[in-house]
Amino acid sequence: MTISHHPPDELIADFATGRLDEANHLVVAVHLTQCPACRRFAGAMEHLAGAALEASEPVSMRADAFEAVLAKLDQPQPAPRAEVSSPSTLPDEDLPEILRRCRFGKQRRVAPGLKMQPIILPSASQSRAFLLWSAPGARMLQHSHSGTELTCVLKGSFSHEAGRYGPGDFDFGDGEVDHQPVVGPEEPCLCVVAMTGDLELHGLLGRMISPFVRL
């Protein structure tokens, strides 16, 4: 698998320092599981964050802080929460491990040749995540974003002005992008997407159906 499209450096740094909203965090994490180069880059960011920790100005702890922690050292650890199993809603796909641990909502059709399945992230504040299937050869409606759209391809491919996106590739769209992706003819394209804000559909058809397209 050759990955040719990667998240912007800033996004990986935000991931490594824990600044991303839950849905964005998940989609970047999916890319990192597929991309050794970005994984190493994120690791380098963690090391630089360690250097920032060393260089940070110490702030005194409460007087009883050490004693409070000492008192907890021998207490049994709380048992890890049981994993949420949801076989009924887990899509029938060969998903990366990190996605198989997620909980999914109901699959639904968005438009002809396009279906989605939400990923349930109770703590996401601004972004939402979902799986998106599109039929081979499908031409998506021309759209732009009021927020950001982070996409990682899991299967199949799509293309737009910036190139062709295959498995593992990462596409970052923001308010400045106005594009019309075309799905590759070889097989359905499956992506994991994190989105903030709304899609804005263009063209007469887009304006006509936009009340019905809810992602």
Q: Does 5 bind another protein (CB under 8 A)?
A: no
Helix H, strand E, coil C: the string for the chain is: CCCCCCCCHHHHHHHHCCCCCHHHHHHHHHHHHHCHHHHHHHHHHHHHHHHHHHHCCCCCCCCCHHHHHHHHHCCCCCCCCCCCCCCCCCCCCCCCHHHHCCEECCCEEEECCEEEEEEECCCCCCCEEEEEEECCCCECCCEEECCCEEEEEEECCEEECCEEECCCCEEEECCCCEECCEECCCCCEEEEEEECCCEEECHHHHHHHCCCCCC
Q: Does 27 bind another protein (CB under 8 A)?
A: no
For another protein, the binding residue among 1, 81, 94, 212 (CB under 8 A) is 81
Q: Does 79 bind another protein (CB under 8 A)?
A: no
Residue 107 or 210 having the CB closest to another protein:
107
Residue 121 or 183 having the CB closest to another protein:
121
Query: Residue 124: what residue type?
Result: A
Q: Residue 215 Cβ, how far from another protein at the closest point, in Å? A: 20
Q: Residue 19 Cβ, how far from another protein at the closest point, in Å? A: 8
Site string for another protein, 84-123 (x = CB under 8 A): x-------------x--xxx----------------xxxx
Site string for another protein, 34-73 (x = CB under 8 A): --xx-xxxxxxxxxxxxxxxxxxxxxxxx--xx-xxx-xx
The residue ranges that bind another protein (CB under 8 A) are: 9-10, 13, 16-18, 22, 25-26, 29, 32, 36-37, 39-62, 65-66, 68-70, 72-73, 77, 81, 84, 98, 101-103, 120-125
